[in-house]
Amino acid sequence: MKLFSCLMAALLFLLQAVPGLGLPKDTLRCVGYHGFCFRSKSCPEPFAAFGTCAWRQKTCCIDTTSNFHSCQDDGGHCVPPQIKCLQEQEGLCPHRQWKCCTEV
């Protein structure tokens, strides 16, 4: 029983010591795009919905007045990194490694 208590204490210490280890993947993605998690299904102005947070219990909202706008808002297309863009543009894509292209 003493060994089990020590293992649990070590596990709890690691979960607190390593940032982001205990957060859900959708929350980490939202935070990675400088988003905020809101309880409501719709985002308040000037935010726009960009996925989910907390195991799909909350909405990920991104500030539309900042430089972080979605790729499709500007007429772009999100493509995987293997595809070459003829013209690349700024914009957020659902997958972090993907890039935003105006011409593929």
pLDDT truncated to tens, each residue of the chain (104 aa)? 555 444 455 544 444 445 555 788 888 888 887 788 988 888 888 888 888 999 899 999 887 777 666 787 778 888 888 988 888 887 777 676 788 898 76
- Global pTM reads 0.49
Residue 5 domain flag: no
CATH of the domain at 89: 2.20.20
Q: Count CA within 13 A, CB hemisphere, residue 73.
A: 15
Range of the domain at 54: 24-68
Task: In whole angstroms, give the CA distance from residue 65 to residue 12.
Answer: 39
User: What pLDDT, on a 0 to 100 scale, did the predictor assign at position 57?
Assistant: 92
Specify the residue for token string 């919905």. 49
Residue 3 domain flag: no
Do 74 and 44 share a structural domain?
no
Total number of domains constituting the chain? 2
Do 95 and 82 share a structural domain?
yes
